Structure 1
Amino acid sequence: MLQFRRPGWQKHKVAAEGKGLAPAIAAVWGSLWSIAEIDSRPLLLGFSLCGGVIVYFSLSNEPLIWPCLLATIGAGFFYVATRWIWWMSVISLPALVLLGLIGGFTAATIRTASVEAPVISSEMRPLMLEGWVREVETGAKGNRLRIEVHALSGVSAEETPKYVRVTHRLDLQVAPGRFVRCFVLLRPPPSPSLPGDYDFRRQAWFEQLGGVGYVMGRCRGGALGAPDSRVKQMGLDVAAFRRRLAEHVNEAAGARAGGFAAALISGDRSFMKIEDQEALRASGLSHLLAISGLHMAMVGGLVFLLVRRVLAFIEPLALRIAVQKPAAIAALTASFVYLVISGASVSTQRAFIMSAVVFGAVLADRAALSLRSYAIAMILVVLLQPESVMTPGFQMSFAASGALIATYDAWSRRRAEQERILGSVSFSWASLFVTSLVAGAATAPFAIYHFDRLAGFGLLANLLAMPIISFVSAPLAALALILTPFGLGDTGLRLFGLSLEAVLAVAHWCSSLPNAAYTLPRTMPAVTLVLSSCAIASAMAARGSARVLLSVLLIIPAAVLWARSHDVVVHWAPSGDVFLRNKDGKVVRFEMVDGDGLSPLRYSTAETEVPCDAPACTYPVTGSGITEGTATLYKGRDDSEPAIDLHLDEHHLRLNWDDVVTTGGITIKSGRDGPKRLNAPICGRRPWRACN
């Protein structure tokens, strides 16, 4: 007979020690009940909140706030009842999941309404823009400036966007924090041209980015000065300080890796070369560019260690107080400062919250629970920025960190056995291999879904680069910090830059190997990503053999659905680029028309084929269920319009450039009953996709 008193999972452990189906079921049930233990409830709540946010963004209509708030309050009372009334305790776990789902849904609804800001409804004629430069990023066509708008010529204050992003193609002579005047051409944030691709328009809504465009000429400094709000002025001061810090690090660390060093220290990537960024992505080392747990550990951990060691040498002080507490306060302060100057991205927020929980446990004389700190970080990030759940950065960051924490938690319990298995291999070197393997496996589903590729030599690149980062770059970064008060910080930064040059050499070598950035022949459907995410979450929350059993039960249907999904045969983006799936199953790019929109993020690494100079060029295409297919590209000359003729078995389709411009992109997918034509949604009933 089943008993539901805690700890329930231990009572099923004896039943699971046997052979056959019944012990296996008992093991799974015992592991599932272990999730209901008090230590795992925050983790389950965090996953449920993410599920509620995903449900919210999957809707076609915008829900009302008040019903969501009432439902959340009701779910909260219901969960409390299950915790206090003994006969309801059996359903406390489903009640917690229900509370998380409704809470995440409500948090996303409130967040959408709270960030509402004016958005440009249509392309505007060239006009004068005045505002303050917030950020500068490197782009393929020039620097991209994020400007806090003060005024737009001919636009009323009620219709003026709060922020805009414009591409500056000439040499930039202004920096963040400066008031500028620019002659710009603006249009609404573009929508995704490929169904299921990254929705920049939705992200722009939550960033209060009301328009995008480019500068006609050059932005020039103005004389208006500081804004009237003290909060805005503080934001501009931080942006200006970040820029000055990045400029100094870029110069001091050396020409080769100065931009890389600036990105690691300040979060400003504008000094990095495009080829270096591509090499890091293709080699599987792009996680180094995201200010995350590694960088926060370097800052907080090193400050904690240094302060604790220094205070320990002061004998009268060390005999009277616990020196680890002042060290924890100093480390927490340094981590917060680093959070601010690095731009406070989602991965940095997660790392800071986890660091705060760890150092807070030191202050409270309690042991820091890794999975609990991970869960707290997830809950806070989801409640503060629900939209981040839909971004690749959030998904890959939390998947990697959670998988690593769960792996090392299990490894620590069997440390002695692992050391016997590893033999003469030290724990430090073995941990580098395990870290690279586990992090790569955890982030692989998200990399495949969002970017349609895998880093073929990611494990090798991480095995070669991470020892440099851990044993050379981190100590040199600490050395630069220590030498700065003595006027020798540039020497430390130069040594830091030399170590990063070695990392870049590894990235370029691994990215140059054959099939370094491997493109999978079939696009992953969203349901496969959801099931894979559930498998990773189950592996974190479950215990014992159920980790594997639950993961396999979810991975198998995910793989089957992926294998039965349809391929994208042709995609024509509003940027003018045509993407064809060739006879080898690989998506290639053709520069068909000089358009003015976005290419899909999923095909950002597709190889560009040599353009055909003939009026019409025919290429073989393929897809699931297609035995013979060709695509004839007509570039359009004289009075003719650019078009594509598709012959897929007995089916014939014609695509016109005017239709691409009107619909925002055309996609042809293979199907059992013939090819299917999909148009990008132009508008809808969500605030970021409103019909004008």
Structure 2
Amino acid sequence: MQKLRRPGWQKHKVGPEGKRLGPAIAALWDSLWSITEIDSRPLLLGFSLCAGVIVYFSQSAEPLVWPCVAATIAAGAVYLAARAIWWMSPVSLPLLIVLGLTGGFTAAAIRTANVAAPVVKEQTRPMMLEGWITEVEPGTKGARLRINVHAMSGVSPDDTPKYVRVTHRLNLQVAPGRFVRCYVQLRPPPSPSLPGDYDFRRQAWFEQLGGVGYVMGRCRGGTLGAPRGWSKQLGLDVSAFRRRLAEHVNIAAGERAGGFAAALISGDRSFMNTADQDALRASGLSHLLAISGLHMAMVGGLVFLIVWRTLALIEPLALRIAVQKPAAVAALVASLTYLVISGASVSTQRAFIMSAVVFGAVLADRAALSLRSYAIAMILVVLLQPESVVTPGFQMSFAASGALIATYDAWSRRRAEQERVLGSVSFTWASLFVTSLIAGTATAPFAIYHFDRLAGFGLMANLLAMPIISFVSAPLAALSLILTPFGFGDLGLRLFGYSLEAVLAVAHWTASLPNAAVTLPISMPVTTLLLSALAIGCAMAAKGRARLLLASMLIVPAGGLWLQADIVIAHWSPSGDIFLRNEHDELVRYQLVDGDGLPPLRYANTETGKLCGASACKVSVARGKLPAGTATLYQGASPDAASVELRLDESVLDFSWPDVRQAGGITVKSGRHGLDVVTAPKCGNRPWRTCDQS
């Protein structure tokens, strides 16, 4: 493709002051100009769309849709005019960025309006609810049922939520696809108790989840048939099939790894035990549980390879057609099938779009894995699901994919300049090491920001587990599918289960090592995350040595801002848990009250401490690395009597459980300006958090 002509100076030429420019400055200039080239513009548009979505979600009030649409149309017209008029071409790049910003902002506003559905405004009295179970998820207090609501007693159809999620604490005797009648108590989706934490209420709005709660007793099957509409009926049929598939795989793959196998094949994690999930999380292998790019790439790639090699053996056919194109069609069909049977979660939809772009590039005789196809996939995902931009799944998957594509592009060019530097086996193992290292490095900022924790032996765990997944588990899963029509599918699943037992053994071993899960003392501020994401983007779009130079110029200030961030000393969540920083600079969870809220996502893996058993317990609290005082936890005769007295230096802070419920969460931070008491984010003029909600 034709490149833009570079103006100004090039390497080692005379600069404006008559002096020779150093190699670093020349490389930086060449790299900055390479970002403006035509091949890089889809990538810049994708990044700009993401930035526009982030700007939208940072607003305190909901914007009107029609001015956003008008601004986007105007920005598009101005950009096209700049591309068509030669004297305006120098400003076409800034105009492209403006188009991306307005486009992302508008896409998010339109999506917010299109998914609008009723939401429970306050905690309800116990009521009868009827509907169809669409999904069953594991939970700490019982199975979580996602129900497509048909009717609620005492609630008009206009105020009835489309979906609710309720916790079923007793033995579950109904399955997805079944119509049920449950006696439930509902409340609005909970707000984040910690500023900057994962906003469940916002995600619930886009999932049309209008209420959460619990079942009083047991859900029982009803006699009402399927809902009206073929699409709803198809959705229930798929849910029922997924559940039957998960149950079969769980039994056939063996007791030890059956739940893990069911989660990988059907996306249903309800059969996995908690110890295995914790081990995968602590070892840095939790990405295996999310049906995302890795799984979709294995399914599509394996089908593509099998069909391609099989057709290549048919000489008359291979001489007449490009056999990789029928293979790409077969891979697309297999990827679509896997998307449906795995539940079509947001991460799986992103992975399918990425796979569709890759195999579409094969059909169009373009490079399958390139930053251009990566940018196209990003643009499509942002336009279809703009809310996913602010989720950990989107950020980590696209950061890892883009970093790997850019790395292997540079690596392939370097290898092309030399003759067979690595043999086939050496290159295979080297690529596994590079893949684990680059993916882990690219996703580290997002993992730290959202979860406040890193897997200390994540690289080692991935180096040990990924060869098993890639070279043993994936082929055995394909073998099981091939043997199923002949009645030997269970044999393949049992072998598949054996391979997953080895993966679980790796996870448990690495998770048991000292410092396997590293908890960082200072939470990453959002500014550091944005600068880190910008550094990763520059490393993708730039060329040559300037990749590291540009990334370093952004990472250094990001690290400086992080070191100056405030430290959380104490946090009392609406879940009833209080988190206190001890003398080892670690947060410890104490279950003081049994609340009905959610603890912060970033503190999900925090160690649980034991109270003394008396009505008042004293706990040592540290301010940073220096002991700063004590916290006295009063349990009281009733939950409303529970309180905390925090003594830090010469300050004494008192909080009661009613204060926490009213504020939605209380956080005590220590920074350069002393102690600061912060409450949960307030309500505002956004659809997912209006001020008439509790």
Distance 2:366 2:153 in 1: 59
Alignment match, 1:550: 550
Comparing 415-424 with 291-300, which one deviates more in the overlay? 415-424
The one-letter code matched in structure 1 to 2:462 is N
Would you say the 8 A contact 1:284–1:458 is kept in 2? yes
What corresponds to 2:4 in structure 1?
6
Between the aligned partners of 2:198 and 2:161, the Cα distance in structure 1 is 22
Q: Note closer, same or farther for the CA distance 1:205–1:640 as it changes in structure 2 (3 Å cut).
A: closer
1:87-135 deviation per Cα after TM superposition (whole angstroms, max 9, x unaligned): 1111221111111111101111111111100000000011111000011
Give the match for residue 169 of structure 1. 169
| Structure 1 stretch displaced more, 529-538 or 617-626 | 617-626
CA displacement at 1:297 relative to structure 2: 2.2
Structure 1 pair 352–7 and aligned structure 2 pair: CA distance change class (3 A): farther
Q: Which region of structure 1 is more displaced relative to structure 2, 73-82 or 564-573?
A: 73-82
TM score, norm. by length of structure 2: 0.96
**What pairs with 1:20-419 in structure 2 (closer than 5 Å)?**
22-415=22-415
Identity of aligned residues (%): 74
For 1:38 and 1:357, locate their aligned partners in 2 and report how far apart those are by CA, in whole Å. Answer: 19
Q: Structure 1, residues 519-576: CA drift from partner, whole Å, max 9, x if none?
A: 0011111111111111111111111111011111111111111101111111000111
The DSSP-based 3-state class of the residue aligned with 2:688 is helix
Is 1:9–1:34's contact at 8 Å kept on the other side of the alignment? Answer: no
1:547-586 equivalent positions in 2, closer than 5 A: 547-586=547-586
In structure 2, relative to structure 1, the CA distance for the partners of 1:434 and 1:5 (3 Å cut) is closer
Alpha-carbon distance change, 427 to 618 in structure 1, aligned in 2, over 3 angstroms: same
The amino acid that maps onto 1:168 is H
- Shift in CA distance, 510/10, structure 1 to aligned 2, threshold 3 Å: farther
**Which residues in structure 2 correspond to 1:457-472 (within 5 Å)?**
457-472=457-472
Which moved further from structure 2: 119-128 or 662-671?
A: 662-671
Deviation at 1:503, TM superposition (A): 0.1
Q: Distance in 2 between matches of 1:538 and 1:564?
A: 25
Cα offset, 1:341, TM superposition: 1.5
Shift, 1:415, TM fit: 1.7
Q: Secondary structure at the match of 2:271?
A: coil
**Equivalent-residue separation in structure 1 for 2:578 and 2:477 (angstroms):** 45
Moved more, 482-491 or 669-678: 669-678
| TM superposition shift of 1:19 | 11
Secondary structure class of the residue paired with 1:72: helix
| Aligned equivalent of 1:442 | 442
Aligned to 1:686: 686
More moved, 28-37 vs 110-119:
28-37
Q: Which residue of 2 aligns with 1:479?
A: 479
**Does the 8 A contact of 2:118 with 2:160 survive in 1?**
yes
Shift of 1:354: 2.5
- Check the 8 A contact 1:10/1:30 in 2, yes or no: no
Quote how far apart the aligned CAs of 1:483 are: 1.0
C-alpha separation in 1, matches of 2:73 and 2:132? 42
Contact 1:127 1:185 in 2 (8 A): yes
Deviations 1:485-514 (A, max 9, x none): 211111111101100000000001111111
Where 1:119 maps in the other structure, the secondary structure is coil
* Range moving further from structure 2, 465-474 or 29-38: 29-38
Residue 403 to residue 15, structure 1, CA distance change in 2 (3 Å): farther
Residues 1:607 and 2:633 are matched in the alignment: no
Q: CA deviation at 1:629?
A: 2.6
Deviations 1:656-676 (A, max 9, x none): 111001111111111333311
Once the two structures are TM-superposed, the CA of residue 173 in structure 1 deviates from its matched residue by 1.0
1:54-109 deviation line (CA, Å, top 9, x unaligned): 11111111111111111101111111122111111112211111111111011111
Change (3 A) 1:297 1:639: closer
The reply on whether 1:598 has 2:603 as its aligned counterpart is no
d(CA) in 2 for partners of 1:16, 1:621: 61
**Counterpart AA for 2:10:** H
Q: CA distance change for structure 1 residues 158 and 640 in 2, over 3 Å: closer, same or farther? A: closer
Which letter maps to 2:342? Answer: S
Counterpart AA for 2:71 = A
Distance 1:621 1:21, change over 3 A: farther
Separation in 1, partners of 2:586, 2:463: 28
- Assess if the C-alpha contact under 8 Å between 2:179 and 2:222 holds in 1: yes
Q: How many residues align?
A: 689
Which residue of structure 1 lines up, in the alignment, with residue 653 of structure 2? 653
Shift of 1:308: 2.7
Shift of the alpha carbon at 1:345?
A: 2.7
| Kept in 2: contact 1:121–1:188 (CA 8 A) | yes
Contact 2:615 2:636 in 1 (8 A): yes
- Over residues 436-462 of structure 1, what are the superposed CA-to-partner deviations in whole Å (9 max), with x where a residue is unaligned? 111111111111111110000001100
Aligned partner letter, 2:567: D
Choose 15-24 or 228-237, whichever is displaced more. 15-24
Q: Distance in 2 between matches of 1:600 and 1:456?
A: 22
> What is the DSSP-based 3-state SS (H/G/I as helix, E as strand, rest coil) of the residue aligned with 1:357?
helix
Equivalent residue letter for 1:542:
A
Structure 1's 366 and 602: CA in aligned 2 closer, same or farther, altered over 3 A? closer
Using a 3 Å threshold, how does the CA distance of structure 1 residues 627 and 139 change in structure 2: closer, same or farther?
closer
Q: Kindly indicate whether the alpha-carbon contact (under 8 Å) linking 1:170 and 1:218 is maintained by their aligned counterparts in 2.
A: yes
Matched AA of 2:74: G
Matches of 1:196 and 1:394 in 2, distance apart? 17
Are 1:664 and 2:637 counterparts? no
Change (3 A) 1:625 1:85: farther
> Helix, strand or coil: the match of 2:444?
helix
Return the alpha-carbon distance in structure 1 between the equivalents of residues 335 and 212 of structure 2: 33
Structure-1-length-normalised TM-score: 0.96
Measured after TM superposition, the shift of residue 304 of structure 1 is 1.9
Q: Which whole-Å CA distance do the structure 2 matches of 1:288 and 1:382 have between them? A: 24
Give CA-to-partner distance per residue, 1:318-361, whole Å, 9 cap, x none: 44333222222111111111112212233322322222222222
Q: Report how far residue 196 of structure 1 moved.
A: 0.8
Greater CA deviation, 286-295 or 53-62?
A: 286-295
- Higher mean Cα deviation, 32-41 or 149-158? 32-41
Q: Following the alignment from structure 2 to structure 1, what is the Cα–Cα distance between the partners of residues 134 and 469?
A: 30
How far apart, in 1, do the equivalents of 2:172 and 2:125 lie?
A: 23
Shift of 1:190: 0.4
Contact 2:56 2:105 in 1 (8 A): yes
Change (3 A) 1:369 1:461: closer
- Equivalents in 1 of 2:10, 2:225: separation in Å? 69
Q: Deviations over 1:373-394 (max 9, x none)?
A: 1111111111111111111111
Relative distance call for 1:262 and 1:372 in structure 2 (3 A) is same
- Aligned-residue CA RMSD (Å): 2.2
Give the deviation of 1:235 after TM superposition.
Answer: 1.1
Tell which deviates more after alignment, 438-447 or 285-294: 285-294
Gaps of 5+ in 1: none
Conserved? CA contact 1:625–1:672, under 8 Å: no
Question: Displacement, 1:367?
Answer: 3.0
The 3-state SS of whatever aligns with 2:218 is coil
Offset at residue 626 of structure 1 (A):
6.9
Quick one: which amino acid aligns to residue 448 of structure 1?
A: I
Consecutive unaligned residues in structure 2, runs of 5 or more: none
